[in-house]
Structure 1
Amino acid sequence: MKPNLAHAALFSALLTATTTPVLAEPEKFVVDDEHFSMAFEVMHIGYAPVIGMFRDIEGRFEFDEEANELSSGTLIFRSDSVFTNHDKRDEHLRKPDFLDSKKYPEVTFELTDFETTGKNTGTVTGDLTMLGKTRPVDVDVTLNKSDKYPIGHKDYTLGISAEATIKRSDWGMTYGLDPELVGDEVTLRFGFEAIKDSSFF
């Protein structure tokens, strides 16, 4: 007896539907500003590093955890929120010699590429804009933990560490380089939690 062609076609369609993988959509995350640290470190006259931070930050990104792919992201630092635990130094850092906060109130980092380097590590490439100049920066990123938060908001949360090294002179910040009162290389370290949230997009 000849097979029913309609039944054969239906079976083929069902088989294709069940064997074709369903691609997950990237999830949207917002940085928890209560659990965000961004520290910088720069050498002072060769004696010891000065360690500071920015205290006013916001950020968001899209991440497909299953595929381990970061598709977009933005971090914004308020330049006048710089803090090094020394009032006069902080005032100087806000002036045109360094961050020029009145003219450039924000330092931004916009993701342009992401490369996976391990099970929970990757390299983020992005455009860092500071003092009106934009240059690419590579940031080494580690996903420390991803789970439903055990307290407080109890939303799904990512915990992330990241680090990069830049030369401030690449953005035209040259005060104190000759003689070298303030080092050119600046190490940036990030640690933050990001909460799954589609409402902010």
Structure 2
Amino acid sequence: MKKRLLGSLIAGVMLVAGSVNAADYVIDTKGAHASIQFKVSHLGYSFVVGRFNQFEGGFSFDKNDIKASKINVTINTASLDSNHAERDKHLRSADFLNVTKFPQADFVSKSVVDKGDGKFVLNGDLTLNGVTKPVAIDADYIGEGKDPWGGYRVGFVGHTQFALKDFDIQMDLGPASSHVTLDLVVEGIKQ
């Protein structure tokens, strides 16, 4: 009986270990091989484009089982940079991101839908300005392989859009400026 139980336990562990091929990665922000950029229409005449200079995170990924992937990212909201000091001060204020009260934004994935051909939808919860809402990120797998420093990397691009009012950002600049677009570049270093 003990041999059967031990055998079943070993077989179970081997089955679980064999099906878990996802590798863990840290997002390469130190080497500036990742970015979070935003774009908002300015009154319907132009666009305000900027980025967050400080963020960190990690993810698990297996290209043979994309739906098992997971990611989490934390953004320092005060690191917002639209290349205009007065505008940045206003965007950091309670009118928009309220960075004094909410110094970080977080994204935690909940599920991944594999669309095939290196395309997938990353579903998760975004917490911004003290509000947590589900968002979907359309993403593309770019590639992976060894780097010149002896490591292993994988990269993606992603895109999402959401309404500012969904995150309790009440500043109203008109219907053309009601949504923000995020463009993401993520390069991870295998741990």
TM interval, short-chain normalised: 0.7 to 0.9
Post-superposition CA distance 1:119-154 (Å, at most 9, x none): 2110000000011110000001111011111x2x33
Q: Assess if the C-alpha contact under 8 Å between 2:67 and 2:111 holds in 1.
A: no
Partner of 2:137: 139
Quote the residue 1:128 is aligned against: 126
Deviations 1:20-55 (A, max 9, x none): 994243211110002111111101111101111000
Paired residue type of 2:115: T
Please, what TM-score do these two structures have when normalized by structure 2? Answer: 0.86
Q: Bigger CA drift: 68-77 or 57-66?
A: 68-77
Question: Is the counterpart of residue 23 in structure 1 residue 10 in structure 2?
Answer: no
Equivalences for 1:129-168 in 2 at 5 Å? Answer: 129-149=127-147, 151=148, 153-168=149-164
Report the aligned-residue RMSD: 1.9
Paired position in structure 2 for 1:59: 57
Secondary structure at the aligned position of 2:177 is classed as: coil
Count of residue pairs brought into register by the alignment: 175
What one-letter code is carried by the residue in structure 2 that aligns with 1:171? F
User: Structure 1: which 5+ runs fail to align?
Assistant: 1-19
C-alpha distance in structure 2 between counterparts of 1:106 and 1:58, whole Å: 11
Quote the sequence identity (%): 30
- Give me the whole-angstrom Cα distance separating, in 2, the residues matched to 1:121 and 1:181: 31
Residue 32 (1) aligns with residue 28 (2): yes
- For structure 2, which runs of at least 5 residues remain unmatched after alignment? 1-14
Distance in 2 (CA, whole Å) between partners of 1:107 and 1:137 is 13
Instruction: Give the AA of the match of 1:44.
Output: H
Q: Does the alignment pair 1:104 with 2:102?
A: yes
**Is 1:118 the equivalent of 2:116?**
yes
Separation (CA, whole Å) in 2 of partners of 1:69 and 1:155: 24
- Per-residue CA deviation, residues 137-183 of structure 1 (Å, 9 max, x unaligned), is 0001111011111x2x3311011100001101101102034xx1871
Distance 2:28 2:95 in 1: 31
- Secondary structure at 1:170's aligned position in 2? helix
Q: What amino acid is the match of 1:119? A: D
**Conservation of the 8 A alpha-carbon contact between 1:176 and 1:182:** no
Tell whether the 8 Å contact from 2:75 to 2:104 is kept in structure 1 after alignment.
yes
Query: Greater share of helix residues, 1 or 2?
Result: 2
